[in-house]
Amino acid sequence: MATITAIDVQKRCPDRVNVDLDGEFAFGLAATLAAGLRIGARLDPERVAALQTQDADESAYQRALRLVSSRERSESELRTYLRRHKTPEDVLERTLARLREHRHADDAKFARAWVENRNTFRPRGRRALAWELRGKGIAAEVAEMALSGIDESTLAHHAGLKKARQLSTADWQAFRTKVSAYLARRGFPTSIIASTVSGLWTEMHAGQPSFHQEDIP
């Protein structure tokens, strides 16, 4: 058994304390976990180990929460982040379980949010979105569910409109080539690209018949 001889707030981390046992520094601890400790109390090795385990778990959990506070994260991203911070595997697994419990690690939720964000701000085709989700560690079946409701025709029009406006004075061949390449880079299939480019050309030149309709494939 060891006796607590000091509990001091850390200068650089005021939400943590240093605990001295028998006159010597023993371990750091989150202030919330130290709330039940007092100078003069005696701790056995098992209690010390339990406190240190709780502290490691809480530190990893709070670190993960800071990461997800900026945006949704996939479980794979969270795992990589915690490993980068040298989180022991047992602590990592307990942390992920706790994150799942509170829905801070939810790949289905992440995939839906990712697709919704892309559709709103940077439209992509199904193929490109699936590739991005795979890169985030999302399982194929989870990605498929998130992608099941997308309308690629609408997204292709949304994606190509800005480019089409930039090329509004170009001739048909240049317009078709550049807008098609732009949409292809964003993962849209050839069949949708062709109809979208034709529609955008017509939209850009409404009331200005400067080409023959049969020229558009």
CB neighbours of 180 closer than 8 A, spacing ≥ 6? 193, 194, 197
Q: What is the mean pLDDT of the chain?
A: 93
Paired tokens of 201: 């050309």
Q: How far apart are CA 217 and CA 202, in angstroms?
A: 13
Q: Provide the 3-class DSSP secondary structure of residue 27.
A: strand
Per residue in 31-47, pLDDT tens?
A: 999 988 999 999 999 99
- What pairing do the DSSP bridges indicate for beta strands 42-43 and 24-30? unpaired
120-146 per-position pLDDT tens digit: 999 999 999 999 999 999 999 999 999
* C-alpha–C-alpha distance, residues 1 and 196, integer Å: 76
Per-residue pLDDT at 36: 87
> What is the enclosing helix (H) or strand (E) of 24?
strand 24-30
Torsion of CA 22, 28, 29, 34, to 10 degrees: 30
Dig out the tokens for 173 from the structure.
């061949």
Read off the amino acid at residue 47.
R
Residues in the chain: 217
Instruction: With beta carbons less than 8 A apart as the criterion, state whether 116 and 78 touch.
Output: no
Residue 80 has pLDDT above 70, yes or no: yes
The pLDDT value recorded for residue 207 is: 62
pLDDT band at 213 (very low <50, low <70, confident <90, very high): very low
Position 159 pLDDT exceeds 60: yes
Q: C-alpha distances in angstroms, 179 versus 132, 148, 159?
A: 22, 26, 10
Q: What is the rounded distance in angstroms from the CA atom of residue 107 to the CA atom of residue 85?
A: 22
Domain boundaries along the sequence of the chain: 1-43, 59-105, 107-147, 152-215
Quick: pLDDT tens for 5-15: 999 999 999 99
For the domain 59-105, what is the CATH code?
1.10.10
